[in-house]
Each structure stands twice: as structure tokens, then as C-alpha cells.
Amino acid sequence: MIIKSNVNYTYDVLKNDLLFLNYQYRLLKIGSIGKSTLGENIVFLKIGEGNKKLFVNASHHANEWMTSLVTMMFVEKYLELYKKKQTYKGYNIEDLWKKTSLYVVPMVNPDGVNLCLGNKKIINSNEYKEIWGNSIDRLDEWKANIRGVDLKNYQPVCKVL
């Protein structure tokens, strides 16, 4: 297994894991749905080729970075089972692959995750320190993105016409 569970799952660790998974499993499709505030790609994965579509995402909240790790461990296991043409708990993985397209955004909030996990480059940047305010000593509890926006509870300020 490539994905290691004994590390803090930063954005750099995610990118590294994606490089290895992409090399190991050529059927994995990797793209970007946009950029974070600090310019990091918000990565998506597509697994399978079916008409049924399933969407999974992780790490909306920065301090929930473990969800990215668990999601990536699932992705790796699914790819491995498919490559080896195995079944899992009675499910034929090849059949699932043909019927279902799984879309995964493993880290919705890369800047927040890196802040929460103590990335020195981000913490030493003066641009956002005012936003963090009194939380500067408790960044491991930080939930929002780098600009203080809670991505999971964000409601767009626009009207549907």
C-alpha cells in the first residue's frame, strides 16, 4: 500500500500520494476543479466508467484532515481491487467499475489543512494573521479556510433567477 496512515495528511503528502497512485494505476483520472486562496489545485479524481455517478469529498474543515487520509486509503484499495480483478465483500469490483463513476475531491480545503497542521510558510505569512486572531495559538483546531471562511457552512450570497 502506498498511502501511509502514520503521517499528518498535508496537501504535500496528498500530492505525493497522487503521483504514486497515478503511476501505479493508469486508469485513475486526476484533474483540478479550481484553485485555493494560496493557489493550490483543488484536486479531483475519477474512478470507473459507469453512468451511475457518486461524489465523495473530504477535508472541508481544516482540522478534519484525517478524512482526506481515509478517503485516499479507500481510493487506493478500490484501485488495487480493480487491478487484481477481485471481489470485495461479495461485490464484483469490475462490475462496479463498469456501472459507476466515482468522483472524489480528497481535500476541499488544502490551505486550511496546511495551516492546521502547522505549515511554517503559511503561519509565518503576515497576510492572514489578523484573520486568525486569538486562534493563532490553537491552529490545530482551525476549521475554516485560510481566510476564515467555513467552507462547509458557506451559503452563497446570490439569488437564483
Q: What is the mean pLDDT of the chain?
A: 90
Burial degree of 74 (CB within 10 A; 0-12, 13-18, 19+): middle
pLDDT at 33 over 80: yes
Distances (CA, A) of 117 to 59, 62, 84, 138: 12, 9, 35, 11
Q: Strand, helix or coil at 33?
A: strand
Structural domain of residue 118, as residue ranges?
1-161
**Residue 92 β-bridge partners:** 87
The CATH number of whichever domain residue 88 belongs to comes to 3.40.630.10
Of 67, 66, 101, the residue nearest 82 (C-alpha): 101
Measured between alpha carbons, how far is 17 from 1 in angstroms, rounded to an integer?
10
148 residue type, one letter: G
Q: What pLDDT does residue 154 have?
A: 63
Average pLDDT of the segment spanning 110-139: 83
pLDDT at 16 over 50: yes
pLDDT at 160 over 60: no
What is the value of pTM for the model shown? 0.88
Domain count, the chain: 1
**Residue 91 β-bridge partners:** 88
Q: What pLDDT does residue 80 have?
A: 97
Of 55, 27, 31, 29, the residue nearest 42 (C-alpha): 31
pLDDT band at 132 (very low <50, low <70, confident <90, very high): confident
Query: For the chain, how many helices (H) and strands (E)?
Result: 6, 6
